[in-house]
Structure 1
Amino acid sequence: EYALELVKRGAPVSGVLTKEGVTLAAVEILQTSLEDRRFSKKLFEFDTHVAAVIAGNSPDARVLVREARYSCQGHRMTYDEPIGIESLVSGIGDVLQQYTQNAGVRPFGVSMIVAGVDASGPRLITTDPSGSYRGYKAAALGVNSEKGREILEKKYKENITLEEAITLSIEALKAAYTNSLKPENVNAAIIPIETKSFKKLTEEEVKEHF
C-alpha cells in the first residue's frame, strides 16, 4: 500500500501506442532555474529501441533502470539482437516481485510505462510495485492519473498518428497536473517504427504540441 501511494503521488507520466511507433511524456518540475532540463529523472532510455517513464520514488526507479539497462546489454551481447519488450518487462517484474516477498526489504515505490519497438512491432506496457504488468494502447500514471486516463480514453483512436500521439500524451499530463503546465516542464520522446530508435524531443518540439 505504501508503494502504491508513492506512485499515486508521483508527477504525471503518460504513453501512447500507434501503428507508427510509441510516445512517452513526463512532467518534470525543476527545483531551480540553474537545473539542466536535459537531465531527466522521469524519462529513461534503456536501449536504442526501448525506454520508460516512471511515477513514484526516483531512487527506487534508478535501481530498476540500471537492471533494465543490464538486461538490454546482456541480451545484445549474448544474442546479437535487441531484447524483446515483453521479455524485458517480465524481467523487471521479477525484480519487483522479489522485493514484495523477501523479509528485510520493502517493495519498490515505483511504476513504469515501458515503450518500445521490437520484432512484433510497437509495444506499450505498464508495471506496478507488485511486479505485474499489462499492455495498453495508452496509459497514464502518477498523481490524478484517472484524469489523464479520461483524456486518453476520450481522444484515442486506432489510426492515431505518431505526431497526434505526442499531443495526446501531453494533453493527458495537462489534465492530471493541477497547476498550469508549461512546455519547459515536460520531457517527451518517441520511438518510431521506421527507425526503432529513441528520440527525445527538444523544448521547441514539445512546444509545437502544446
Structure 2
Amino acid sequence: MYRMIGTRDPPAQSPPSVREEKDFDQVPTAQSTMADSAYSFSLTTFNPSGKLLQIEYALNAVNSGGKTSLGIRCKNGVVIATEKKLPTILVDEDSHKKIAVLSEPAGIVYSGLGPDYRVLVRKARKKAQTYFQKYKEHAPASILVREIAAVMQEFTQSGGVRPFGVSLLYAGYDDDGPQLYQIDPSGAYFGWKATAIGKDSVSAKTFLERRYNDDLEIEDAIHTALLTLREGFEGEMDETNIEVGIIREDKKFHVLTPAEVKDYLEQAE
C-alpha cells in the first residue's frame, strides 16, 4: 500500500482520564443556578424541567413555614384542626383566627401566609353569597371548591401577580354527605378521607393512615385530630394554641370554643 508524499499520520489520541470524564459529565453549579434564576421570576414561563418555579416557591411557603393543619371526614361529619401559635403573649388571640366560616354548611382552614388566606376567604364568601342569592340554597361543596380553585389557578398564569402562598382544607356538608377537599397554590384540588398540610404534613399523614377507618364518627375524629397534631407539636398543647372546626349532619359549621377544645384535650390524654 502506497502513502502519499507529504502526509503524516494523525497523532494518536490517548483516552480521557477518569478525571476528564468526570469533569465533562458535571454541570457547573453556577450554570444551573443561572438557569434557574432565568425562570424564577417568571410566572408564565416553564423551566426546562417543566416546572413553574413561582408555584414551587408558593408550595415551599406552605410546607416550610405553614403550621400544620388537618382534616378528617367521618360517617356523620367533618373535622378540621390546626396549630395556632402566637408570636408573643402580647398578641390578642381573638384577633388571630385560622379557621373561618364560609357559609352555614362550610368552613375552611389554611397553612401558609395569613394575608393571602384572608383574601381568599373574602372571595370565597362572596361567591357563596352570590350562589345563595341566585338559587336560594347553599352551594354544593364541589361547586364552591371549584370556584376557589379557579381563583387560585388564575393567579398562576397572569402577569403582574404571584400565586397564593397557602394551601386550604375545605370542610362541608351537602346533599352528597360530608365533604373534605384540599386546594393547593396551583389551583389543583382533590377530595380526601383524611389529609394534612403544613410543615409536619408528612408525619401527620402517616399517623392518620394508621388511625383512620371508614367507621369513624365525629367524636372519635376530633380525638384523632388532636392526637395527630400532638405528634408533631412543639411545646405544650392547650386550648389557646389549637383551633378545631366541625360540621355534623345538621349542616351547620361550628368552630369549637376554647372551653370545648380543653374538654376534648383532657379526654384525648
- TM-score after normalising by structure 2: 0.75
Does the 8 A contact of 1:22 with 1:122 survive in 2?
yes
Out of 172, 177, 181, the residue aligned to residue 125 of structure 1 is 181
Residue type matched to 2:126 in 1? Answer: Y
Instruction: Report what 1:52 is aligned to.
Output: 108
Q: How big is the shift at 1:40? A: 4.1
Q: How big is the shift at 1:34? A: 4.6
Structure of higher CA gyration radius: 2
Instruction: Report what 1:63 is aligned to.
Output: 119
Map 1:79-90 onto structure 2 (within 5 A).
79-90=135-146
Q: How far apart in 1 are the matches of 2:158 and 2:220?
A: 44
Q: How far apart in 1 are the matches of 2:258 and 2:217?
A: 20
Map 1:1-210 onto structure 2 (within 5 A).
1-8=56-63, 9-193=65-249, 195-210=250-265
Q: How far apart in 2 are the matches of 1:138 and 1:46?
A: 20
Q: Relative contact order, CA 8 A, sep 6+: which one is greater?
A: 1
Shifted more, 183-192 versus 128-137: the winner is 183-192
Residue type matched to 1:134 in 2? Answer: F
Q: How big is the shift at 1:42? A: 1.4
| RMSD over aligned Cα atoms | 1.3
Structure 1 residue ranges without an equivalent (≥5): none
Residue type matched to 1:153 in 2? Answer: E
Q: How far apart in 2 are the matches of 1:137 and 1:208?
A: 25
Does the 8 A contact of 1:140 with 1:172 survive in 2?
no
Q: 1:33 is paired with a residue of what secondary structure?
A: coil
Does the 8 A contact of 2:99 with 2:255 survive in 1?
no
Structure 2 residue ranges without an equivalent (≥5): 1-55
Deviations 1:132-152 (A, max 9, x none): 000101111111111111111
Deviations 1:61-114 (A, max 9, x none): 111101110011001000000001111111111111111111111111000000
Does the 8 A contact of 2:100 with 2:107 survive in 1?
yes
Identity rate, percent:
38
Does the 8 A contact of 2:70 with 2:194 survive in 1?
yes
Q: How far apart in 1 are the matches of 2:234 and 2:202?
A: 13
Does the 8 A contact of 2:83 with 2:241 survive in 1?
yes
Residue type matched to 2:231 in 1? Answer: A
Residue type matched to 1:46 in 2? Answer: L
Q: How far apart in 2 are the matches of 1:173 and 1:89?
A: 25
Q: 2:167 is paired with a residue of what secondary structure?
A: strand
Deviations 1:20-48 (A, max 9, x none): 11111111112343544344431111001
Does the 8 A contact of 2:106 with 2:173 survive in 1?
yes
Q: 2:116 is paired with a residue of what secondary structure?
A: helix
Q: How far apart in 1 are the matches of 2:95 and 2:245?
A: 13
| Residues 38 and 191 of structure 1, relative CA distance in 2, 3 Å threshold | farther
Shifted more, 9-18 versus 28-37: the winner is 28-37
